[in-house]
Amino acid sequence: MSYNFDQIIERKQTHSTKWLKFDDPEVIPMWVADMDFSCPPEILRPLHERIEQGVFGYTDKPSHLVNILKDRLNTNGWDIDPEWVTWIPGAVVGLNVSCRAFLNPGDMVMTPSPIYRPFTFASSNMERGMVKTLMKDVNGRMELDFESIEALMSADINMFFFCNPHNPGGTVFSREEIQRLVDICEKYEVGICSDEIHCDLLLDDKLKHIHTATVSEYARENSVTLLGPCKTFNLAGLPIAAAVVPNPDLRAHFRRCMRGIVSHISSLSFVATEAAYLQGGEWHKELIEYLRINKELLIEGISKVERLSLSGPEASYLAWIDCREAKLLSPAEFFIQQAKVGVHDGEWFGNKDYVRLNFGCPRSVLEESISRIQKAFSQRN
């Protein structure tokens, strides 16, 4: 390995959201989707150079950036037109704007549950209604329940919120699954906002990320896709995402819905994105290898804890640990207070009987967390 993912980096003094969450200094924070790894020099160098220049005025989007994204998506089977792309300061912005763009007041969005909570905030922020479709845990893989989706469809529902790869479940949906979902959306004339922010973090060689917009003409003409470098290269502090909208009318409306509300993008975010996409390939490859080993370690560690269960994720560094058998009032509280492992409470995503654990951290930290979890559960009476 040429990059050092084992390095422990002190983050509290940088006001890290992740590291300031727990008052108890003994708790290891393993919650929000933010990894404890440094950016590679390939990203740091151009950032330093940009800072050296010293002027941080309003900045236009670099026109070549969209071609870099185009080339990147092309290698994954999606031939986009640069016109389709709107840069936005983060994927969550895109979730909220999509709610405005697809839905009129009184309309509803259908959202799978569990889900990354800002999906549910978006509809309430925009004063649109929400219908939840519960996902099924099929031997640890979180899957869409197509019967439920179809049964819940109604004339009021005008958008489906899709998260692929799924957060918190880590599912990489197959072409067949996506096609089936899109077919239902077509039947009921429902638009799709597809959050694909974790799409560069597949941990299984046998799987392939399928962009929702590529499965049919309907999907292309009725979707907003959100993606970007922030999860993959750990750049959440330099917010940026791309909203890819092939349909010109929908795209124009999406842009109208942003006006006066959505802030401009930091000049450093553009620099980091370009460097990540052009120069970050080797670091990305090594990151995936590191995460794969962390995932296997965690699965093995959890398998030794009676009444906990884990088999994924297929993508990303977020493990959705099934604690249903443990019969705890609050599994998250047990992890945090007894094991001193600062997981993200499953309740935040819609199911309190799970916890989400971020294993995007140095291996020694993960090993310590696993041994704390094993010890705390073995001492439980």
Where does this chain bind ligand PLP (CB under 6 A)? 33, 90-92, 116, 163, 167, 195, 197, 230, 236, 239, 241
C-beta of 18 vs 141, nearer to ligand PLP = 18
CB of 263 to ligand PLP, least distance (A): 12
C-beta of 195 vs 274, nearer to ligand PLP = 195
Nearest residue to 299 via CA among 314, 287, 277, 284: 314
CB of 295 to ligand PLP, least distance (A): 17
Number of C-beta neighbours around residue 315 at 10 A? 26
Quick one: which H or E segment has residue 90? none
CB of 192 to ligand PLP, least distance (A): 15
Structure tokens at 173: 């949906």
CB of 307 to ligand PLP, least distance (A): 27
CB of 317 to ligand PLP, least distance (A): 10
CB of 20 to ligand PLP, least distance (A): 17
Rounded CA separation 315/151 (Å):
29
Contact 144, 179 (CB under 8 A): no
CA-based radius of gyration for the chain: 21
C-beta of 102 vs 334, nearer to ligand PLP = 102
C-beta of 214 vs 234, nearer to ligand PLP = 234
Number of C-beta neighbours around residue 13 at 10 A? 7
The position carrying tokens 């979180």 is 142
CB of 125 to ligand PLP, least distance (A): 13
Structure tokens at 9: 């980096």
C-beta of 19 vs 116, nearer to ligand PLP = 116
Nearest residue to 66 via CA among 85, 94, 45, 38: 85
Nearest residue to 199 via CA among 234, 156, 166: 166
C-beta of 33 vs 73, nearer to ligand PLP = 33
The position carrying tokens 């001193």 is 340
C-beta of 201 vs 275, nearer to ligand PLP = 201
Amino acid at 347: E
Using CB positions, name the residue nearest to ligand PLP. 90
Specify the 3-state DSSP secondary structure of 68: helix
